[in-house]
Structure 1
Amino acid sequence: MAAVTSKTFTEGDVEVSEAIDFCRFYPTSMAAFDELKTVSYQPKGVVLVIPPWNFPLAIPVGGTVAALAGGNTVLLKPATVALPVAWEFAQCFWDAGVPKDALQVVCPAERQSLNWLSAHQSVKHIILTGGTDTAFRLLENAPRTPLSAETGGKNAMILTVNGDQDRAILNVVSSAFSNAGQKCSACSLLLVERSTYEDEIFQSKLRDAVLSLRTGGVWDPMNYVGPMIDHKNEKLQYAIDHLEPGESWLVAPEFIDKEGYILKPCVKWGVKPGSYTFRNELFAPLLSVVCIDSLEQGIEYANSSEYGLTAGLQSLNKAERELWKNKIEAGNLYINRGITGAIVRRQPFGGMKRSAFGGGIKAGGPNYVASFLRFKNATAYDIKDVEANYRQAWNNVFSKEEDVSHIYGEENTFRYLPLNSMALRIADADELNDVLLVMLAANQTKTKLTVSLSDKHHQLEVIKAKVATFDGMKLRLESEEDFINTMSTYERVRACSESLSDAVYQKAAELGLCIIDSIPLAEGRIELLHYLKEQSISFEYHRYGSIFEENKCCG
């Protein structure tokens, strides 16, 4: 990893540990689905795994193991620069007994071959970690193939006047500059409340902390910041060359090599919402500092981004923490700690908005392997029994915010949130029972559902009557063309089968919208997943020797 992707040994060591965690966790997570008696499952088939270069071991291992754990076969297409790492770990898998028929490595030099491969009818699911543009290209190329993608981030950490300044500086520096800022989870925006922002002592401490980071080649283990993978980062160069009104350098950028691979950590001060540096993911050791007048304004600024991957808050005030936790739009939330370094199962990883494509199920979490399985009802069911099953799944699993790690000094909870807006598009041939299951699931999860169908459906009157029995559920009688024109208003689309037209899938691909088209299930432990999004929250309450839960709330 150090030789081919310029990863420091410290970062590489952590990545090896994460890869091992994936190998241990995903197979054991299958047990929860083996125990379900109302459904059966089978593997989807061929899963195409497309990992990035910045985590050349952990992420491809994670995708590969998740697919293999469900009995699928894997085509691994690593980033070209990271091929040597992928080949080495694939060799380990083969040596351990994984058949080469089950795991193959392909690395075409040109995009055309990948386009052909990703659109091939044998590929039943695609796992991507990479750029948002890449996710859209894959969707456009194969709109009916399910895509689980973790993409970009423009991640913000907020520091209020109630935050511990010294601890906050430590957290932001590690989050912004580890791996030379080349993490999708990296902190690239620091939003600071005005009195702290204008405090010269705070500015001096932040400057000193950044300047203290040793920068250089990866072969010196004392270097904290290593080289970037690319010396032709046009977005970074533009951000360096252009200071917009009000902007200045708290720590000026400096390349220490002629080629421009090694950039010392730098801090741009006075960045404003809407500016180039505020909006664009730079993937480099450049931190932007923004002045805010209140926590509420900071949340508004952070949520204005099209991304929603990680987010951080530095505050010792309980009311501020609760407000931020319930208003911020991101998949992984971190309080009074850094916002990178998610650990398998402890902090399942994945974003919201343009940071994630697919069904909202997080990597390293309890449900991830289910994404690569095809479930079906194993027994006949009665609607009343389904209601009871859904209610039990909701009460036992999905309504709870739980900490499964139980670490002194750090609370790591995992919760499910309802979707803001979801559509059920009913095809003329769909069965009434399938439609009812979707309505029941949406109602149980408190997801706002719009039921869309043509006025020619053979069960129209029954469906209209059923919709009227659920509070907040809407009915739209519309043609498929009219439905396509409204798809941008939904967060996700549910279908009862794969019978929707290609035009619907093509529009979904254009919007980056996920269509769940598997047969609705009477088992709530699986079906309810489609109406929810997952969120991880990590709260470090250990401070000055206080490691017990009763001491975690200050202010």
Structure 2
Amino acid sequence: MFEIIKNSENKYKNLNNGVWETSESNKFIDIYSPLDQRLVGSVPAMTSAEVDKTIASAKEAQKKWKHISVNERAEILYKAADLLIKHTDELAELMMLEIGKDIKSAHSEISRTADFIRFSADSGKSVSGESIPGDSFPGFKNNKVSVVKREPLGVILAISPFNYPVNLAASKIAPALIIGNTVVLKPATQGSLSGLYLARIFQMAGVPDGVLNTVTGKGSEIGDYITTHKDINFINFTGSTEVGQRISGITKMVPLLMELGGKDAAIVLEDADLEMTATQIVAGAYSYSGQRCTAVKRIIVMDSVADELIAMLKEKISQLKIGNPLEHDQLDVVPLISSKAADFVMELIADAKDKGASLVLGGNREGNLIEPTLFDHVTRDMRLAWEEPFGPVVPVIRVASKEEAIEIANASEYGLQSSVFTQNINDAFYIADSLDVGTVQINNKTERGPDHFPFLGVKSSGMGTQGIKYSIESMSRPKATIVNLHI
């Protein structure tokens, strides 16, 4: 059932108006596995003319799709979730090869995605409008009634990242479809094979021709073109702050929903349960090698308990499972997505060493596999204190007070999440209220879910609010019809 999306040479096609097509240019981008550098597949490098054709298909299909009943749209999403679970093994294997995720984590991502799709269908069915009587506003009589409903925006451009190529594509597609939009999916190049499989799942579930389409190609060649296309009505992007800021700078009068970078802090007070805190921090910092926007990326700890916490962290980090997912089923630290990514992490490690940080453990590299690394006595002049590594290296910054912890946390250009570890609820809420972030976790690692909670970043970490209900609202608008009663 999936052979339709590629040919015998493992060259993939794009979905346009219900048909899987190769690029007219016959140019392809090769996708190599970060695990053993094998060629996993090739995707078309689409031209601007092909982008035009794809967006035109989505625009035309939306005229009919928005009039399909929400129950019918929901049934298609339910079926897509079921098909996703049915094909878990095949898709998880592809994800492992394409993005280097261990097989258990790949299975978990697919299961979570199916739940997300089902919940989106349920939430779409519960969207309701309202009627507003005119006489509730001073000076008006009871001869006007405003009937308000939610209207889809049109064609949604969904741009997904490499690290969660199924979940963070579906988290854009499902809310968009259930409210009546059509979608053009532009997956990250590394991760695009998994994205194309997901599109095939939706097609198999019964998504009509043109309602979901895909575009592959280098962002440097078609990125600006597609994000500024006149027929794109909304852009839902997850990726780097650098790219997000560029999209924000070149688009005009197009609403944006963006999840960008982070430098999530774990703030540890004197009265924290250090055993629990260490467990949470290690899980939050090093799983999937820290290649997550919500990973714990710095530890801000009261100096009086820093030594004890670091000893616990060192013990737990040394127990992490490290290796190649091709050789082991369940791993915490795996090779990074590319040599470029690994080079950047090693630059941050070298800078911290050169400027006097204390290496607690790790710091070594074999290929693109970097040992889980922890630095103590990191100071503000070190790059590791501020830059997002997207890799398995975490700095410890010692502070003398809650106010200093808050000041350092807020000095970051990012504002995605933070954690506060304390047994004093007053301190927890005081710090939470003082932090310039989208979400504060109390006595828990920074993390994305549950997916019906609001999820957002401030400053350079994003704009707009995700979470199933919030995503549906973001990709729709109120429309008022006013009934005038001549009485």
What TM-score comes out, normalization by structure 1 length? 0.65
1:304 aligns with 2:411: yes
Shift of 1:225: 1.3
Given the alignment, which residue of 229, 244, 267 partners 1:135? Answer: 244
1:159 aligned residue: 268
Distance 2:107 2:445 in 1: 18
Shift of 1:342: 1.5
Distance 1:298 1:244 in 2: 24
Change (3 A) 1:344 1:332: same
Distance 2:270 2:447 in 1: 23
1:378 aligns with 2:481: yes
- Judge conservation of contact 1:18–1:343 (CA < 8 Å) in 2: no
Shift of 1:235: 3.2
Shift of 1:35: 3.6
Amino acid at match of 1:8: D
1:230 aligned residue: 338
1:76 aligned residue: 185
- Judge conservation of contact 1:244–1:275 (CA < 8 Å) in 2: no
Amino acid at match of 1:352: V
Shift of 1:5: 0.3
Distance 1:246 1:111 in 2: 38
1:263 aligns with 2:373: no
Given the alignment, which residue of 205, 213, 224 partners 1:115? Answer: 224
Shift of 1:380: 6.2
Amino acid at match of 1:371: S
Amino acid at match of 2:472: V
Could you say what secondary structure the match of 2:374 adopts? Answer: strand
- Judge conservation of contact 1:21–1:344 (CA < 8 Å) in 2: no
Given the alignment, which residue of 450, 456, 461 partners 1:355? Answer: 461
Distance 2:483 2:424 in 1: 52
5+ residue gaps in structure 1?
Answer: 382-555
1:185 aligns with 2:289: no
Could you say what secondary structure the match of 1:53 adopts? Answer: coil
Shift of 1:92: 0.9
1:176-228 Cα deviation digits (max 9, x unpaired): 0001000000001001101111x3x4332221111111100013014221111
2:204 aligned residue: 95
Given the alignment, which residue of 164, 171, 176 partners 1:55? Answer: 164
- Judge conservation of contact 1:272–1:278 (CA < 8 Å) in 2: yes
Could you say what secondary structure the match of 2:249 adopts? Answer: helix
- Judge conservation of contact 2:103–2:330 (CA < 8 Å) in 1: no
- Judge conservation of contact 2:129–2:149 (CA < 8 Å) in 1: no
1:290 aligned residue: 397
1:313 aligned residue: 420
What TM-score comes out, normalization by structure 2 length? 0.73
Q: How many residues align?
A: 372
Shift of 1:287: 0.6
Given the alignment, which residue of 357, 379, 382 partners 1:275? Answer: 382
Distance 1:170 1:148 in 2: 33
1:343 aligned residue: 450
Shift of 1:274: 4.6
Once the two structures are superposed, the pairs formed by residues 504-523 of structure 1 within 5 Å of their partners are: none
State the Cα RMSD in Å.
1.7
Amino acid at match of 1:264: E
Shift of 1:365: 4.0
Q: Highest relative contact order (Cα 8 Å, sep 6+), 1 or 2? A: 2
1:27 aligned residue: 121
Shift of 1:45: 1.2
Shift of 1:31: 4.1
1:263-321 Cα deviation digits (max 9, x unpaired): 11000111123531111011000011000101221111111111111110111112211
Distance 2:440 2:349 in 1: 29
Shift of 1:10: 2.7
Distance 2:319 2:257 in 1: 39
